[in-house]
Each structure stands twice: as C-alpha cells, then as structure tokens.
Structure 1
C-alpha cells in the first residue's frame, strides 16, 4: 500500500532506496526511489510518484518547480532517468516489507497476486512455473536480476531459478507492455526485475520453515558494510516430497534445491561500482510436465550468474556500462533414472537430454542534458551459445559432457546487437518520451530492424494523471521452439521472430487513503509462436511449433486500494483492502480440433483481493483471494483411464492466509495456501496441490 501522507509544510524524502544503482534498468542508467507498497497493489501500483522540489533538485537537473503528489514511487521505464512525476511509462513496484507479509515461499507464488500476470504452475513452491504478462507466454518477457538480463535462450520454462531466496529480495519491479527500446529482444510483453538487498549495517539474518508434504526451507545471510564498501553473502536450501505420485507409486513432484549468492558495492561521490555472483541448483520430479508418454519425468538444473556494473556521477555525460556472463545447464530425464534404457513402448532414442547455454553480454548506456531536454544513447552486444544432445545444428566437433560418457552433438550460436536513441521533452505537467531501437541478430541472417515507441503523460492538479503510449517490440524464437523434435514434438527451425505493436491509455487517482486506476490496452502481434496439437490427426498427432500469423488482444485493468486505518482512524483492526481485476479477449479463438500449449490458453478473467488485519499488538493477519477463468482446453484420460477426452479449463478461486507475529528482531508465522482445498488445474491435466500448511521463524542479529 502507498503511504499517502500530505507534505504541506515540508517535503517528505524517502532516503531508504535513494540512488540505488542496482534498480530496474540500472544497467541502462535508471534509478528508483521506492515508498511502501502492498502485494495486492501489483496491478495498480503504476509508476506515478511523489516528486517534491527537494528530491528533484538533488536527482534531476531538468526538474520542474511544482510539487507532484502522485504516489511515493519514483520509477521510470525509459532509457534516460526521469523523476517519477515526469515519467510517462508505468511500472509496478513491490517492496520488501510486503513480500515478507505475503503467504508465499517463492517469487513465482508472489506474482500470482498480480492481476495482469499469469502464473501457470507445473509443480509446488516454484519447482517449475511459466510466467507471462497480458495474455502472452513465458518466452515473451525479459527476466532481470539487479538490472541484468538473465533470460535463457534455450527455454523460458526455468527462467525463475534465481540464486536468491525470497528473504534476500529488496523489491520486485514489473514493467507491463512492450519494452523493445529499453530491453531489445525477448521483452515482447514486459519485464520483471528482481532487486536484492544491500546491507545498511553489519547484520546476520537466518530463517527456517517447514510444513506439509515434507517441506523445509532454511537459509542465512551475512551483510557487512564499511565506509564506501558493502558485501553480502547468502545461502539457502529447500526440499519437499511433493504432493503427487506416479502410477507405480513413486514420488514424481518432489524437489530439492540449493542457492548461494554474493554481491558487493563500492560507492563514492563520482562513481558507483557493483558486482554479483550466484549459483542455483535444483532437482525436481516433473511428473508429465513435458508430455504424457511418461509420468516419471525428472529434471536437474544448474545455473550461475556473474555481473559487473558501474555508474558515473559527475560531468555532463553520464555513463553506465555493464558486463555479464550467465551459464545454464539442464539434464532432462524422460524416464527418471533410466539413461540409454528405453522401457517397452518408449519413443525416445536416448532417455536423457543434456543442454548447456552460455550467455555473454556487454552494454554501454549514456545520457546527457541539453537545451531541448534529456537524450539517451545506448548500445548492447549479447552472444548466446548453446550446446545440446538434441537441440540445434550438428556440431563439426563434439564436446564432452562433464561426468558422463556422452557428448554434446548439436548446438547453436547467435549474436544480438542493438542500438537505442531516446529523447525526453519535459514540461511542467506534460512529459513526452520517444525513441527507437535498432536490432540485428545473426540467427537466420536477420537484417537490421527498427522498432519505435512513444509515451506521454499529463498531470491534472496533484492527484490525477493521464497517460498513453504506443510501443513496438520483437522476440527471437527460443532454441527449443526451433529444434525440439523428439518425444511427440516437431519443431520448425524456420520460425519467424514475433513482432508486437501495442497501444495503452489510462488514468490514475491518488487521494487521502485511496488509490484507484483504470487502463485499456490493445496488442497486435504477428507471427506469434506456440505449440499446437491437431486432434483430427488421431494417434499420429504431435505437438508442432508454429507461427500463429496475427493475434489481437484487448484488455481492461481496474484497481482500488483503500488504507482503512487512514480512512477510519477510530479503529485499529482493519489495515487495508485492495481489489484488482483484469479482463482480456483475443480475436483468434481456438478451433475445436486445435489445442494450444500457451498462446490460446490465456486468462480471460482474473480478480484479486487482499485484506490486511492487525489482530492485536504485533499480531497481523493477511488474507488473499484470487479467482480466474482461463480459455482453452487440455487432453485427459477418461474415468476408465483409456480413451483421451478433451476438457475445457474450469474457473476456480483460491484463498491463502498468513498469521504472523512481527517483532523488531524476530518474526514468527503460520500460513496456509489453498485454505479450502480447492481442486484446480493451472496447466493441462496436472492436478495442483490441495491445502498446504507451513510454519516458520526468522531472526536478525546486529553485529
């Protein structure tokens, strides 16, 4: 929730997040000043911000000289940093305090409460989750860690295997809609950035929780700060027996994982330098996640992340260079524990598939001020190199797979180059931000393509802001979409890149204890990529990757947030009530004989409600409810287990709750997901967990 405090006599400055170089688009020269948000405000916590005169004087040489009372979040979605009151692009921000209050155990679970975000979970506690924005799929958004693009060109299925635990996160930033001129390829429908904590004092933190189905999660972090230097190191371990078994009675949704993360910073009046390195390892039973030929699939992923970033703070020309290397390793077992052994009736030549992806990136972002406004000029080089046992073109020289007797026999290497030019015109109440991104990819000898965008906003008084935008973007096909042709799948290596044009308009109101917003968006996408199954082909039907020519999406978002303790100060029980709703429709309906893996299975309706209560003293209760209705269908076995039956997705509603005691140095909690044990499906015929109960504690010790 927003702290809507008036600043009639003196400005209110939020120092807690001031000038953090690792904020969203930090590698692009962006900065964020964050107020206080709640989890359920994800859909309406748009990027309007309180920007008082003193704040703008310190952080923006182009500051206007009138106070703007629109939210307390100062975030921009452009290449050049602007005060939030000036910014025309809307961004959602979720703060650390509200992340900790939510009844969730993973970032994936947290995003379920965003009305415009579709979280399709194949396994519990984020074991394997597809996340999309505004009717798209998991491949069409950019995922960032501290402003660094960590997308895997092989597939978006495991994009949320972060090296950090929920307790390590300072905030989450969500940009809805095309972000081509900000991120280039893969940001077709938006971006999600995870910003980690930096220590403000020397401290040790630890937490542990346990619950249903053998679930356990424990971790610790150490933060050290001395003068201009800060360092943080954290580790985490989690596991569960899972909630499901295969036909043979063995566990097939169990998981186990470990994470480690280190980050540091150096900062003085002229320069800020930051760096991070992280590891994430996860083993999980993947049930029938990738096909129904086996109900005992298994997957192992190992990921490493390294990055170095810097920002200059003096002179007329501001520079923000960064360099990074991400490695993703994956072993998929179609038949768990059986390599080179094919059960009777099996269709795989080899039971295990191995993949390794190395992504190297360098970018340089700059901006400068002059008479006509603020101009940003940026360039980025990103190389994606994949070797695999199944994906890509045959390698001239095979590469050995460590700790096996196998070799990588296929591969693909492609390089993406992008240049961005953006200019911002800032008037007292009006902002116009326009720019272009030019993109060239070495894959399929793609020529240079140019994608423009323009954002505008106008403020009326101190409480109302109107905004509108037109943006374009593209996405290169993933390697899986191009080459995965085994186990009932047939890929097309000649797929075209997806391209999107989007229009959006909206209004936001921020009053005394009330925040309301409404917006309309329209997306026109051509060459949309999806996996489809033609049931008319009978037993010979396979899943094919295809370009779905053109798809138009029309959507409406609305939200209302009330700070009840501010509106009704006589009582202390009710803290806040938040409501949000998103409706979407696509004009390409699914034919009766066609089943879609993602594109045609979008959320038509999603409603989210959040109620925060203060029961007594430090005892708080958070209740979250979401109701959603998905279009599309899936195939399941009939009651006899023989014939295949095509079923439509049914709407469902879920209630989650968390009861917590929040002391200064420690916290205790008990929570329940799916309180009423609702039976529901997020993806195909995979049943989701029933009621899941957990309890835990955390402690902070100052050194």
Structure 2
C-alpha cells in the first residue's frame, strides 16, 4: 500500500469508526447549538450539521475587527488598508484558498496576489464565513487550504456619510445612499482612502463603488475598485515600483423553491486590470499590463427527502488572460458536485461530498469530503472530517518570462489531504471551540532560486500540523474573546522557497468589545505573532467611538500602537503606528 493509499485508508477508517460509535449512542431528541444557517459551504445548511470548523463573523464584531479576529485566518499585507493582501488559512499560501461572494466562487487566473481585490465595502457585509480545511469537494479548484465567503446585507433605504483623517496625511471618505423602489431597495456606496505613505513609494489611493439590491429571493450586485499605489520592495528592491489595479465584479442570482427543493442559479463576471511599472520615475523602462476575465455560472439544487438531503449541481467557468508579459491564454472548466446528508437521527449528521472537474490543459480531478457531526448534548457538538482538495497553477506560475524569473509550463496541480477533529460548545453566555488538524500537501508550487534564476517548481511535500482554540463570553456590557492558532510545517526546499515557510507558528488574539457609559463603545485587540524562524511581534489596535443624538458618531482609532518594526513579507515594511479620527452621520 503506497503513502497516498495509507492516508486515504486512515481517513476512511476514522470516519467509519465515528459513524458506528456515535450511531450506537444516538438518541431521538432534537438539539440545536445555535440558530445559524451557513450560506457556504453547505448552501443554507444548519450550523450544527456541518462537520468542518466554521467561523461566522457578523454584526459589530465584523465592523470593528474584521475576519482576522479568527487566528487561523491571515491577510498578509504588502500594503496597508487593503492595498494588496495575500490570503492565508492555516498557514497556506495566497494561491491555495478560495474566495466566494454569496456562495459563488471568485478567482484570479493571473495571480492570487489580486484575489483579494474585492470591491466590497465592510458596511454592506452581513457576515463573513470562514471554512478552514479543504473546500474543493464543493467549490473545485483553489480549495487546497480553505474558503472565505462574503455575504451582503439586504439592501435598505437610508443615508450615511463619513470623513476621516489620520497619520501620514491619511484621508477617507464614505457615502451610502439607499432608495426605495417598486423592484426592491437599491443601495449606492462610494468611498476613497488615500495617504502619502509612511515612507517614500508607499503612498496609495483606493476608490470603491458599489451598486446593488438584495432581498430573500434575489441578489444583483456590481462593484468597482481602483487602486494606485507605490510598491516599494513588493517584488524587487532595486527600483521604486508602482502598480495600479482596476477590478469590476458583477453578480446575479435568483432562487426558486418548493416544499422539498431549492434551486439558485447564479452568474458572476470579474475583470481585473493590472499595470505594473518597475521604475515609477521612468515608466517606459519596464512595464507589464494584464487583463484577466472570469465568467462563471453555477446551478445548485438542494432536495430534501426522508432518508437524506441532497445538494447537487454543476459549475461552468471561462477564464482568459491578455498580458504583455505572459501572453494570451484561455482556461475552461466544467464541474459536477454531489453532497449527501443522511438522516440517521437528531444527533448524528454524517455527510459525503464529491466533485468531478474537467479543466482544459489539466487532467480531470476528482475531489471528496467525508464528515461527521455528533451532538453529544444540547450544548456540545463533536465533529470530524477528511477530504482531498487541490489547486491548479496560475498563469503567472506557468508562463511568466523575464531574464531572472521564469514560469514553468510543466507544473502539475497541488494536492492536499485534510484531516481534522474538533468540538463546539455553547451554553448561556459562553462559546468555546477547538480543532486539531493535519494537512498533507503534494506537488506544492513555489518559486525556487537556483544560481541566478528564480523558477516556479513543484516541491515534493508539505506537511502542516496545528490546532486552533476560540472562545468568547457575551456579558451584557462587555464581550471578551480569545483566538489562538499553532502551526508547524515541514517541507523540502523550505529555506529556498519564496512563499512557503512564511507563516505564523503562534498567532494569539485577545480582544474585547465593550459598551461604555455616555453612549460610548470600545473595541480593543492585542495580537501576539511569532513568525517561523523570525521575530516576535506584539500589535495593539483599538477603536473608541461615541454617538451623539442617535445620528452622529465620532470615532478615534489606532493601529500598531507600540510602533513595532516588522515585516509580513521579507523586505517589505509593515505599517508603523497609525492613528486617525472619523466622524459619521446617518439617517
């Protein structure tokens, strides 16, 4: 039996054993840990039935802290305030994760450096759902490390405006207009953030526009974002780099349902323009221009029967790249997926998910997930899952060509076996969870330096072992929370890889959301980070705001109050201490 067969056998044995043991112990009582439904990954599946770890961030917690309050989730920033962010879940690289909006997959075929170019203002988000672990069995390519889903708020009438000022001549402006209509409320959102930068060639200007309508039956969304920014040391330290990106996203979906079925066809179009200038003082010296497009259709059907619930569907994708450096390329994908949720009783919730993808210029790939959730009692859920996931090379990894950096057209897809087990506990004001996980990755793609050439190559293996614990207490006035993730990775060529191995071995977050007297609120966060073979970092961030006359809010905020000098990417300085003030009016 080879190594891959042993891994699969181990996962199947664990799954089967838990089904047998827990089925014998199950009772016919009904339990519900929390009245929450998850849009992704299970298409409105109840939270207590999901076998993987899921983190749902919403409300004021999302507004104040964002998704990074979950320690297994990391946005590695080359530039602050969302200039350029690389998504990492459980120590995965920026290419190895999925992003969805309203459960519809977004992709960036040029490079996942631009995957987080999302024209989504935080003010319009209802929730962010984070699914660590493999996600290919439902979403296909890119589900190697995990998935994050952004859900929009229902559109509503109303108006909101805010202006702010901060360190390094930072300025921001935000406006939201909500109109009633016979069709449904329509929201228009526009914003701008700009600053001179804390050092030369780290200036930025970000402009965002949203137009959307959403209700229980349909969603129609258009978003646009343009970023101009100094990219000092982002790619090379020899020249003052500069970059500009423009991103358009159009999304539409409509649901239809009967007594036992639910179908929600959806369409997504994304176009991303990227202009890179090696020397901003001499733009004609070296310039790259890229245009990537993504067309995606998804047809999910959920069907309920007495023995089991079923989720089945198909996804069609068409991706193109028009590039001065990479050439012109086309990628077409067709995926078929089926998930089965057998109904054993009201305490045991097994699931089996499979997906088959055929991708042009790649071998067809079959991915799967086996899971089990078991409600031990009304407050405690045990869960485990095992699955196979993958991601295909980006066009940059395949076709980039310069005198010192070379792509590799013979790259093969990355593959991963994800195994995890954990628990969720919720009683009264206390919520607590823990997960231990192991990921065995094969054919990992990274940029390896050999002599004077850096080339994309498949590293043989990458093993990731870790655990996460999360807890929060919902007192009436004060809501403290903690989140801690430990990671350890072992790989060949780790020291010579450009991205693999740059992860947090320890990421500890201690935060609090407090309601203070005189209509004041405080959100504070202490973040301890220990990078692999690198420095320890202590970050303190805060927001304190006061509301006047129900319509006006004054907010003081600060980032990196200890003024830590650190890097999230080698050679790229992270932001120093940054303080600002903001005033908001809404009615």
Does TM, scored on the shorter chain, surpass 0.5? yes
* Matched ranges for 1:246-257 at <5 A: 252-257=201-206
Contact 1:263 1:274 in 2 (8 A): yes
CA contact (8 A) 1:80 1:375 kept: no
Q: Give the Cα separation in 2 of the matches to 1:487 and 1:694.
A: 43
Which position in structure 1 is the counterpart of 2:297? 362
**Are residues 544 and 204 of structure 1, via their aligned partners in 2, closer, same or farther at CA, if it must alter by over 3 Å?**
same
Match 1:657 to one of 518, 542, 559: 542
Task: Give the alignment of 1:300-699 within 5 angstroms.
Answer: 300-314=244-258, 316-341=260-285, 351-391=286-326, 410-426=327-343, 427-443=345-361, 446-486=362-402, 488-534=404-450, 537=451, 540=452, 542-563=453-474, 565=475, 575-588=478-491, 594-632=495-533, 649-662=534-547, 664-699=550-585
Matched-pair contact (CA < 8 Å) for 1:139–1:156: yes
Unaligned 5+ runs, structure 1: 1-63, 103-109, 246-251, 342-350, 392-409, 567-571, 633-648
Deviation at 1:673, TM superposition (A): 0.5
Contact 1:612 1:623 in 2 (8 A): yes
Q: Which residue of 2 aligns with 1:120?
A: 76
User: CA-to-partner distance for each residue in 1:357-403, whole Å, 9 max, x for gaps?
Assistant: 11111121112122321112210110111010111xxxxxxxxxxxx
Structure 2 gap segments, 5+ residues each:
1-26
Residue pair 1:217, 1:237 contacting (<8 A) in 2 also: yes
Please tell me whether the aligned partners of residues 297 and 334 of structure 1 are also in contact (alpha carbons under 8 angstroms).
yes
Contact 1:308 1:324 in 2 (8 A): yes
Counterpart of 1:239 (choices 175, 194, 212) is: 194
1:179-198 alignment, distance < 5 Å: 179-198=135-154
Q: Secondary structure at the match of 2:265?
A: strand
Which residue pairs with 2:16 in the alignment? none
Q: Per-residue deviation at 1:532?
A: 2.5
Q: How does 1:60-139 map to 2 (within 5 A)?
A: 66-75=29-38, 77-79=40-42, 81-102=44-65, 110-139=66-95
- Identify which of 214, 217, 225 aligns with 2:169: 214
Deviation at 1:69, TM superposition (A): 4.3
Superposition RMSD on alpha carbons, in Å?
2.0
Is the alpha carbon distance of 1:66 and 1:232 closer, same or farther for their aligned partners in structure 2, counting shifts above 3 Å? farther
Q: Distance in 1 between matches of 2:181 and 2:306?
A: 40
User: Could you tell me how far apart the structure 2 residues matched to 1:76 and 1:172 are?
Assistant: 10
1:77/1:89 contact within 8 Å kept: no
The answer (yes or no) to whether the contact 2:155–2:214 under 8 Å persists in 1 is no
Compare 412-421 and 122-131 and name the one that shifted more: 122-131
Q: Per-residue deviation at 1:83? A: 2.4
After superposition, what is the alpha-carbon deviation per residue over 1:410-462, rounded to whole angstroms, capped at 9, x for unaligned? 2110101110011111221000110210011102xx33221121110111111
The structure number with the bigger radius of gyration is: 1
- TM-score when normalising by structure 2: 0.91
TM-score (ref. length: structure 1) = 0.76
- 1:345 counterpart residue number: none
Deviations 1:160-210 (A, max 9, x none): 22223222222211111111122111121111122222234x211112211
Aligned to 2:109: 153
Q: More strand per residue: 1 or 2?
A: 2
* Contact 1:77-1:87 at 8 Å conserved across structures: no
Give the equivalent residue in structure 2 for 1:52: none
Of stretches 512-521 and 501-510 in structure 1, the one that deviates more from structure 2 is 512-521
Between Structure 1 and Structure 2, how many residues are aligned?
559
Change (3 A) 1:519 1:328: same
Kept after mapping to 1: 8 A contact 2:53/2:422: no
Name the CA distance, whole Å, in 2 between partners of 1:100 and 1:467: 29
Tell me by how many angstroms 1:266 deviates: 6.2
Q: How far off is 1:151 after superposition? A: 1.7
Q: Deviations over 1:46-74 (max 9, x none)?
A: xxxxxxxxxxxxxxxxxx98553423433
Q: Retained in 2: the 8 A contact 1:78–1:89? A: no
CA distance in 1, matches of 2:467, 2:199: 37
